[in-house]
Structure 1
Amino acid sequence: MHDIRVIRDDPAAFDTALARRGVASPAAGLLSLDDARRAAIAAAQDAQTRRNDLSKQIGQAKAQKDEPRAQALMADVAALKDALPGLEADEAAAEAALNDALAALPNRPAPDVPEGEDETGNVVIHQRGTPAAFAFPVREHDAIGPAIGLDFETGVAIAGARFTLVRGPAARLQRALGQFMLDTLTQHHGYEEVAPPLLVKDEAVFGTGQLPKFAEDLFRTTDGRWLIPTAEVSLTNIVREAILSADELPLRFAALTPCFRSEAGAAGRDTRGYIRQHQFDKVEMVSIVPEDASDAEHERMTACAEGILDALELPYRRMLLCAGDMGFTARRTYDLEVWLPGQDTYREISSCSTCGDFQARRMNARYRPEGEKATRFVHTLNGSGLAVGRTLVAVLENYQQADGAVAVPAVLQPYLGGLTRLEPRG
């Protein structure tokens, strides 16, 4: 959510920032709505002030035994009393119209975010690891996976398209990956483990920016709750409506959860295999920090995700997303893309974003700096550490063997009872 006072102070700067995200000149419309809101507030306040003044005059008229004047004043007060509900309704409607317009606009990009309309404008920051040279024809994960337990056909039969049944060695590997990621973040990087709700209310999804604009990307239950598309929703809303003290920050949360997405905007994309599913596991990181710490926290969070890829010895690269390719709430986003030899390309496996105070304004999440009476909005960050299913895909493709087996990365072997290979079933 944007601060209307910032837009009032410099509407041209606001328009310039949003133009980088493909939004044309919203400031004039917002300021018009703001003018209407302020006029409605003034009208309601003036009516209430006049009513109070007239009420005092009634007492004075009665004290002076001026009954005709007292009766006239009482008629005026009654008329104002009748008018006030309508004026207050106008005020509420004007407030809602402005808030709805502000809520529909994406976050402003940070100054260092590159220009660009889509992924072609993204910039490689660095590349780590060297893709392996295979002495045999490499296969994609959907050709490797069925022999070790990725059952695409049964998943579809049970639940429909974009669902997979994971069993046997593949299920063990997936569980090991999620546990390793969570252990790494909590034991080595100071994240607090959280087991959050998977069903959330409207205000939680609004707070992190999925509502109202992206409702079609979510699954809703019959009782009006939403299945989380990412644990970011539950974790970030831990501080909803809170006023934190400075010494409580930073807060760092991590969770391993199932996630649910309708993939409404992804028709025809990645219909084969395990890349794009309606249900998937992900380890999510969320940080809540003071405003002057968010840029450093962004680098720290992204490095935590990179450390997991380093430990798994998977080649990857860090991308700085351009203004046109960032998510709705992001101020700056780094994507980590892992090398998939079967596809002969890099694919996203983690997205780490700093949102500034954009989400905090939607959640009314604040902190009180030491020595100050006034509160400020916290800054929020979120990132994948990592997407478990996509990491499984990366392990299958990068660790595939000529005989159809899959080698187990050394760091995962303790999670699999010392197992060094996943053998294909006959």
Structure 2
Amino acid sequence: MDHLDKLAETQLYSLRTLKTPGIGRTVAKVLMVATGIFILFLFLPWQQNIRGTGSLTAFSPKNRPQMIESAIAGRITAWHISEGDFVTKGDTILTITEIKDKYFDPNLVPRMEEQLDAKKNSAAAKRNKVEALEKQIVALEKILVAKDAQAKNKLKQAVLKLEADSLNFMAEKVGNENASSVFERNKALYDAGNITLTKFQDIESKYQMSEAKVLKAENEWLQRKADLANAELELASIEATYADKISKAKSDLNGTISELNETLAEVSKMENELTNIRIRQSQYQIIAPQTGHVVKAIKMGIGETIKEGDAVVTILPESQDKAVEMYVKAMDIPLIETGKKVRVEFDGWPALQFAGWPSVSVGTFGGVVANVDRVQSYNGMFRILVKPDPEDDPWPDLLRLGSGIKGWVMLNNVPVWYEIWRQMNGFPPMIYEDGEPQTKEKKK
């Protein structure tokens, strides 16, 4: 027994020196507690979000900075404002003068008005001529109707007279034949001595009178035939003469109408030119289209020449219409829709942001997605417009358009471990309902 005690004291001394130190136990306990806390932390709720960057702008395009352009070419003669000035809609920004020799004449407008009046008078004269020719054509047509009716009546009378004289000529011929027969018989009787000379001479006289009547009736019949031909010729002549006169008048009318239309076209063109010149002269004063602040003068020197469409100054309209244009990745855009809540951090504004726990964030402001672009922007990302959240604190008034921002589109809550796993694998966020992942289509 003593021997064993001596052996333990000599050979097991190193074993007794290997006992666990107190500080090691403390570190182990701390690590165990930290591990437990970390495990608990992994099951804490984390609000998923989609990050993006962008700048402050105005939601309505009319309230964004705009460049004021000159509608005409000219030379700057006077500036009426300075950079940083506040201008009201209708204020004169600068004055320019003409540089095109076509518009140098100071009496250009009165001269064009005189030319326009002369051209209008010419158009009025042609219009009167058109009316006169129209009346002349109507009168000629009426005369033609009357003359045609008169000639037709005359032709009809000639036809009737020809028929009457023809019948009379036929009757005289029949009477002459009877008288000739009587004359021949009585001549034979006279030659035989059966009748006296006096009676024969009386019969001969009647025969000769019958011959004369036949000749007269024939002459009258021939005259009526000539009258009928003349009546037909006169009818054709009247129709041809007045058709020619009417055609000539209509030709003159069409020519005058054509000249009138050309003159009216010239009048319209001159009126257009005159209106353009008056408008051009009103463009010598470049006017502020909106109330706002003059940000920057693009053209500066007196005497500097500007072209049509050249920008001369930039104006920032006075408006409280603020919005954020934020750019997000294409893989995240299917999860963003109008009405989604957004947290916004403005550059230069003190903020402490915990994206997964917005309730403990400081210095950020609420927003709502108002629009999601349907096509990519120039940088290959998608742009969304965010308006202030009416249910959250208002955005600061001191913010300037163009300031940089960081934004987080807030989604639903997930465990921290899932978010870490998602980030490590590069997966897009998921929308959760009742702890179960849902696609956007299924959610709807």
Query: Normalising by structure 2, what TM-score?
Result: 0.25
Larger radius of gyration: 2
